[in-house]
Amino acid sequence: MADLSTATPDKRTLILNAMVDLVAERGFHNAPISLLARRSGVSAGIVYHYFENKDDLIRALYKHIKAQWSAALLLNHPQHLPYPANLERLWQNAYRFYVDHPRATLFLEQYENSPYQVGGHEIGLDENLETVFAMVQAEIAQGNLADLPTDLLYEMTLGIAVRLAKRVIAGHLHLEDVLLGWIAAAVYRGVRP
């Protein structure tokens, strides 16, 4: 996947980008700083100039990717579309992000299933996620979505997107655009009141 960033590749970004790849390919363990340095084209020491330690680097990377992800959710402004197109576009945006950034996806899933995350350190809502949240609340108010706990709604909709994307990334599954449209619709059909 390489460069998630659109900024000039300063050293900090070079390191972050190399780290996603490394973790995706080899896992947290087996992603030694020495290799990270070689791949980033920097020295091992400088990593500790930009990050306190390896854990800090990994957490920073997580935040970095999560920010890209939440920005991707709002591509093509789903918030300006009528129901159900708005939620379906949201879903397809999420799915797209995962499929288009396979390394980031593998990183995210490793992170969220490791003791790093399990121990807490939740990431707060950023501005984009707040917009998404508002969209969902509005549809609940409209009677288009069941009034369920946020986490439950999340898992029954966007949660499916990651899992499908991982299957696609692994090559176990191929999803045509038409089918994707059907899935996006089906997902929200499942959570009508």
Partner DNA sequence: AATGAATGAGCATTCATTCAT
Partner DNA sequence: TATGAATGAATGCTCATTCAT
Binding site for a second copy (CB under 8 A): 25-30, 106, 109-110, 113-115, 118, 146, 148-149, 151-152, 155-156, 159-160, 163-164, 167, 170, 172-173, 175, 179, 183, 186-187, 189-191
In this chain, which of 54, 59, 66, 96 binds DNA, going by CB under 7 A? 54
30 forms part of the interface with DNA (CB under 7 A): yes
State the nearest-atom distance from the C-beta of 98 to a second copy, in Å: 12
147 forms part of the interface with DNA (CB under 7 A): no
In this chain, which of 33, 74, 90, 153 binds DNA, going by CB under 7 A? 33
Task: Note every long-range contact of 162-169, with CB atoms under 8 Å and residues 24 or more positions apart, other chains counting.
Answer: 162/94, 162/98, 162/105, 162/108, 162/109, 164/95, 165/95, 165/98, 165/99, 165/102, 165/105, 166/98, 166/105, 166/106, 166/109, 168/99, 169/98, 169/99, 169/102, 169/105, 169/106
State the nearest-atom distance from the C-beta of 170 to DNA, in Å: 24
Which tokens is 61 given?
A: 């990377």
State the nearest-atom distance from the C-beta of 154 to a second copy, in Å: 9
From 125, 126, 107, select the one nearest 117 (Cα to Cα).
107
